[in-house]
Chain A
């Protein structure tokens, strides 16, 4: 009875996750699938060939998306780490308020931010440029890295750094052998989230990029909204979906290994750390 209940639960979860995604995967390899057939009339990789055609801009857009997301992940993680370090280890005046201010951008409506930024950029001559788009992606990504790294620093002991310095380690050696290893899981989780925020961003890219900056979500939206070409929509969907899945899988695997290593050395080191379960809002 109990076993049957559990199996039903797992099946329901699987259906929930797969219901929209599985048809997408089938559509991506479909040549003809006319209503009311339940299975495709024929399978083909034509849509993939189309995606490989340079005229469709898919490869270039994937490159732009990756570059933007990696840049956002790097900058947001560094800024988030610095801010978290300042807030947690040095307890500056008004630390609570600063924390609130840094987290507030999760609530900012993307449309309002985009049109405001466009007003700024038009004045500063930054409009319709990749650098401007990267700067806008940074705003919604930052709260996640700050939140995750505050969690990471919560279990961090500044005395480890001081001890290493006393023993003659250079600043660089301390960063390389003490700070970064201790914060590795939090840094990784933060960078993953920031990457996802930028990778999924559509509206602000469209409005601030002014049509000059083309990313994968822009192509996906245009195809899904206008073309009626389901197979091509599905191919773009799969291309949008695969990097986050690979990233999440890799991050989870690395964190498991890291946890195992640290658990042996010092059980307390991982306990308050930012396990991915403390990271809300992957999708904002």
Chain B
């Protein structure tokens, strides 16, 4: 059944309320960007907020730190998810169990995960007690500073705990019966487990993997709760630094905080562009020019 023009515009009309919400968000972002380009009193046009960011050593440490946290979390989560999905790919029941376990962790709010990992990994936490019981440490001071330490280990562990299941769910969703049929065909033709993974499974899951990686990167780069609770005090992750600046009582800090919001947004926009380029390449590689 083909639908004629009047009802085609009706389709847009139905989408209008949802589009209005996105329009509201876009307007808010534009206003934030405008505010970052004002002088210290919030008036006129000025680049001084950005110039100040470049001079502040605390802030110049935050951007590389957040990039490191986001790319490491993304890479480790993706590798873990791929390994696990590859390991159970042969068995239907394995996939079902994996799906259930991944879903269970997806329902856990990030803030709760941070609080729970704090109880687990802090100096007086359960892991530290186990280490002492095993005779590896003499007290909380001996235990490596996973929480609040310069390596941001607890932050990374919490992110991997939350995001690896997320990537897993995305990969399992892309693992359609069609992919399984192609794997079976490759096996019938004599392909081994590894070469099936490399030449059949991975290429077919690559679009979903790219999408999942972008979402994980964007989220871990911009999220506040986990680095705020489990990260070191200096340097702090970019969103933590931004919130601190935004809440500062000095009115002159406001454009700086808004400028940080713009920086966070720009990095994510770059990541999204990169992911779009990769997706297009993947599509072309599969369908031919």
Interface residues of A (CB under 8 A from B): 6, 9-10, 13-14, 16-17, 19-21, 23-24, 27, 35-38, 79-80, 82-83, 85-87, 89-93, 95, 98, 101-102, 104-113, 115-117, 119-120, 135, 138-139, 142, 146, 158-159, 196, 199-200, 202-203, 207, 217, 220-221, 224-225, 230, 233-234, 236-237, 240-241, 244-245, 247-248, 276-278, 280-284
Contacts and interface: CB of A to CB of B under 8 A. Distances in A.
Interface stretch (B11-19, B50-58, B179-187, B192-200): B11-19
Given A111-B242, A116-B29, A278-B173, A139 B133 contact: no
Contact of B140 (A35, A276, A278): A35
Contact of A230 (B1, B94, B119): B119
B129 A36 contact: yes
Contact of A221 (B3, B14, B101, B229): B229
Contacts of A230: 119
B109 A283 contact: yes
B49 interface: no
Interface string B1-41: 10100011111111101110110110111111101000000
A138 B10 CA distance: 23
A174 to B, nearest CB: 16
A133 to B, nearest CB: 14
Nearest to B99: A277
Given A107-B272, A139-B24, A237-B116, A159 B106 contact: no
A119 to B, nearest CB: 4
Nearest to B34: A119
A200 to B, nearest CB: 3
A80 B19 CA distance: 10
B249 to A, nearest CB: 14
Contacts of A115: 32, 35, 246, 257-258, 261
Nearest to B36: A115
A79 B19 CA distance: 9
Nearest to A138: B21
Contacts of A10: 97
B109 A199 contact: yes
Interface residues of B, number: 96
B251 interface: no
Interface centre among A105, A106, A110, A247 (most CB of B within 10 A): A110
A109 B3 contact: no
B171 to A, nearest CB: 10
7 contacts: A36-B132, A111-B222, A138-B21, A202-B111, A203-B243, A278-B173, A282-B106
Given A90-B11, A113-B28, 5 more contacts: A27-B119, A111-B246, A120-B31, A244-B108, A283-B110
A3 B99 CA distance: 19
A93 B12 contact: yes
Contacts of A217: 109, 111
Interface in B170-229: 170, 172-173, 211-212, 214-215, 218-219, 221-225, 228-229
A277 B169 contact: yes
B108 A241 contact: yes
A67 to B, nearest CB: 17
Contact of B166 (A20, A23, A117, A281): A281
Nearest to B271: A107
Contacts of B243: 111, 203, 207
Contact of A220 (B35, B106, B112, B265): B112
B46 interface: no
Contacts of B124: 35
Nearest to A110: B222
5 tightest Cβ-Cβ pairs between the two chains A and B: A86-B14, A90-B11, A116-B28, A92-B11, A200-B109
B75 interface: no
